Structure 1
Amino acid sequence: GMGWSPSVDVSPVGKHSCRRNGRRVHTRPPVTIVYGACRRDRFLFHAPRTLMQVTFLGTRSVLLVKGSNMTLAFGLLLLAFLAGPLAQLNSTINSYDADYGVFIGELPNPSGGDVKGRVYVINETALQIANFSYNGKAPDLHFWLDQSEVPTKDGLKIPSFEFGVTPLGRYDNAERVVLILPGLHKIGTFRSFSLFCLKYERNFGSVIIPETLTIPKPQFLISELRGSRYNVGSGPILIIDRRTIKIFGFTFDGDKAPDGYFFVGRGPNVGYDAGVKVPIRGRDTPELITAMNERYRGGQDIIIDLPEEYDINHIDWLSIYCYKFRVNFGHVPITNVSQRIPPYVPPQKRYDDIELSKVEGWPVNSLLGTEDRRNFTFQLGPPGGHRGYQSMARARPGKFVWYVNGYLADIYMKRGVSYTLIVEGGDDKSTSDFYNPLYISNDPFGGYSKLSSDERKQVKVLAGSDPTQTAGRLCLWSQDNTEDDPDKYNSFIEYRRSLRLKCDQNSRAAVFKFTPTANTPDTLYYQSYNSYNMGWKIHVVDDMPKDVVDFTEEPYQYESWLQSQNLLDTSKGSGSTASSLTGLLLRALYLAAILFLLE
């Protein structure tokens, strides 16, 4: 033999060793392979006379080999080992992966949706899918949890960061898709995770959640932070995940100390060269960590973020440390930490946040329900690109959204005042786009008809509960030039002047009343019964705000709008008294029809 047994440490090169967390995977003299819990893509082989670094890619290839005095025979032997046991380590149901969590299964592809991905449990209320793909072609498809092994319409829809509550679109080998359970639900109460088409009740792939599932859980340290200088102390210390620590009731007289930092490191003693500063969330960044110079009196909880190479399993202490004089003001040992702490999940951004960070939204229009405005008319219109509805509601809109009195707007209603809601969003049940009963609820997403039974229980509908009574004729604002980019306009009002209004003359508007009371919540939403993300906020107030600018709407009632277009098309000064009288007559007839419907 070679006279020595190299070992594999899974850790970043040049950093600490993961040997203490390693476990023997396979032994065939003279080679011993030990697999640790830090990283899966880089390995260090230690021997008395040599060091070899291997970067591992996939299940059967070695990308990079560096080292000296290594024979080709050893390299080939390494390939044989890596292609087998290491690649299979995390394929066992209920096994723990330091980067992703507890593995519960590989998504099958029973319905031709090009579905693939590995499903992991992060903690009691979160899942993630690694390397997820789906072609985006199925209608009304959602991530789904169910209490039975086969998904049903009574299960729980899980919103995604990428698509919110709307049906899923395309994913192309996404590195990680993080899913947070809504409400107070916990993963342990469910039996399956699926991709489920609610509209046709069709399963596009499920994994069974094992009854013996071992869920990663946060852990409190045995000790609290205590020091002999500057009142350093704390309440309980919670390890939230591998790179996040929460310190309750933190105390420190930072206004008196020369300086002070949160400091973590390795070894038996706290020392200047044994650790690194760590940032306080919401105060510091990894690039800029400043000394604590304020007084902490115990009424504030602190969250600190550990760097990748100093996660919770690879530090021995947490200290409040004075860099200026290299003094440890107080520390707590990091001991007896579970090997199933929840994995660290990088902060997730919604698709809309990513897109909207590139553009400036239009100013939001507000309609005040004053004495001069007791009626609100709801029509359909385009969402207005990134600067319109998407910026206002921070949600991914459908093809059309609600225009209120002709505007993308939020509404103010006064308690005790009765308002008339006139609905012109379409009453054709044969189409999904043009059947939009209006309702008012506490739900910011809408689409009541598409909600599961569990979701409906969480929604309180305050008006428009009967969709057969709240769907009216179709009035649609549309672009003549479909290539016109809404984002080039500086305001919604400017954009709307490029639109044309057309109403169905063979049907009637739906009309109903809504009166906010003293018990009505401060914030409600007007929504479509049939589609997600079409409406926005209703502010319920005791008195109309004085700091919100009111305005007079441009014509939005169909007959009035037609009249205004006729006037615009007529050369200046050529308008006749007869045409003005015609416009007034048409408006009077329209209002008379509304009053007739209300009787």
Structure 2
Amino acid sequence: MTITASSLLFAIIALVLSYGEGRPGSATPYYGRLIGTLQEYAHGIRGTVYAVDETTLFVKGFSYDGTGPDAFFWVGNSARPSPEGYIVPYPEDYTGRDPPVLEKFNRQDVILRLPLGKRIRDIKWLSVWCRRFTVNFGDVFVPSNLEVPKARVLPEFKRLAHGLRSGNISVLDAKTFYIPNLHYDGAGPDAYFWVGNGSEPVPLGIKVPNEMGSLDPLRGYQGEDIEIQLPGNLTVYDIDWLAVWCVQYRHNFGHVIIPKDLDVPPALGQTKITPPWWYNPTSSTSPHPAVESPLSNCREMLDERLQVQWEMMGDQVQIQLAARIREDQYMAFGLSGEPGRASMVGGDIVVAFYDSDQGTFRAVDYYMSATSQCDGKNGVCPDERIGGRNDVALISGERNREVTTIVYRRPLQTNEPINDRAIPMEGEVSVIAAIGPLNTRKEANAHAIPDKTTDDMRIDFSSRNDHACSSSLFDLPMESTLTPWKPKIISLENQFTVRIGPTGGKRGYTPITGHPSWGIAWWINDFLIPEIYVERGQTYTFIVEGGNDNTNPARYHPFYITDSREGGFGQKSEEEQKRQRVFAGVNYDSEGYPYPTAAGRYCEWEHRTIDKSAETETFEDYFQTLQLNCEEGKAAILNWTVAPETPDELYYQCYTHNNLGWKIHVVDPGKSLKHNEIPSSSTTLSLSAAFYIIIYSILCVLLRLDR
């Protein structure tokens, strides 16, 4: 990662401003709304209590001698602390049926989450209470008029480029953003979550790690709900916007403005981001299972073809399924219908898969009354089809190198005793798994015997560090082995449509041209950067739909013809412009300043879901994964008459950006090629100039003979 002087300066300023998570104008650390100081009655109780949010308390500097035989944090709504209250579990991630008795504390900071859906407005006091002897060691009372900090809901991302969109973004606390239903095609070469100051995103900003804590360029998202956290001591009070920003090309794909009147909870660790179990923050490679994850449990099923990872979180369990399956298949995991054996009938499972029609991942609650396809009443049925509800919450999903990985949560116990089975708080339970095809309803279909559990396998969902998975599932060829598409040729045409579209990932723009891209490129006559053949003395018409909104750089791509392999005439200095010859698409005003003449309305070939270039071996198949979206307005018309002295090789480019276009071959009259595709692979681009001339000469001879 390159650190510029400007970004370092901004980081230092942000560090000073955000000292102690303080709010604007605050010279002291901010812990939330002050409730009061714990009153001591016994055992050295000390501490100051704050309301962090509607369900969370923070005790600053808590002290207790630890000698009480049955002491707990205790809350209630009676007039004074009494046996009518209930325990606030601490630590939160305890295992077992009952939380542990409080041990000794010496000026420690404690975060308490109210259980059972309770809120601070439902309680009148917090106590350190001895349950065995009904003794109050210390307490603090909650003011009746207390207003606690709350999460703030913002608008969605502004939609500017690369299919970026989302639901309304929430500020969960002073450092944490929740971004629901995030869509982004992943085609930007150097895109990150980006924050900074000012009225709109600018290059002077700071990268924000993604939901996995990584600063790698952003992948594609297709309707996922994620959380991200600001780095270091930076808080939402120090920034004016959150964006998805391409650093290399200084472009804003979309952003949301942060209002100044926020009153959100402090960031004290109460908002937790749980990265996928395979994530290794020291690795910059593609996702790969981290076998030695100290907080993970993992088992392999179905002859190591399915990996199941789990972790109990309070009254829920988070589960991750990973399997090498096709897009038309599902993976299923859940509780066996009978204890001590692998029984599909009576099983309570979750069916997880990638819905290619919708471009989303799904995790669905199922009940199996019979080993047959669901008929709406019986069989392998989604709970919602048989009168129940889907108690499963999808967390995230990814399909990487033929491996589908889906993370979801489900309650340990629901209010549906017929369709759902309870997961025990401790102890082993028999589990089952399966892999099979999806039917036309996107529901689980039949599976073969090798694709379902036959032996009894048991899991203790409350266990920790039960990790027995290998990395074999992910030992697949790297994407660098992808074969580039053959470059296209357009010849014997006098009219061209010019639009914006994706670059085709590792099969398209960069392997064809040898140049980096920033995620979009010119599409001519619905081909990705084809090589165009024109004849001297002929006039050609370009119907340009590259966007004419010069206030939005992501939607402003005037078209011009030049001898520059890079383009971007409008962003060059005067000296650089002098070194570039322009043949069409640029005029000069009365003061000698250049301006583009061909922009037109904005039309873009966009991914229907995410970039599928890695999965499609031919350009024709890839084209079927795209859809054309055009704004209202008219196209621009550029007429170009090729002069006799025009050089043999030119380039069509973007006036405002580098590296969007490719080659124009200028030939003498009658020498245009009579085919529209290079017959060999893209390696022909690396032939020497002499060899290329020989090939071209042979083609010309053949064409004359053909006449």
TM-score, normalisation: structure 1: 0.44
Which is helix-richer, 1 or 2? 1
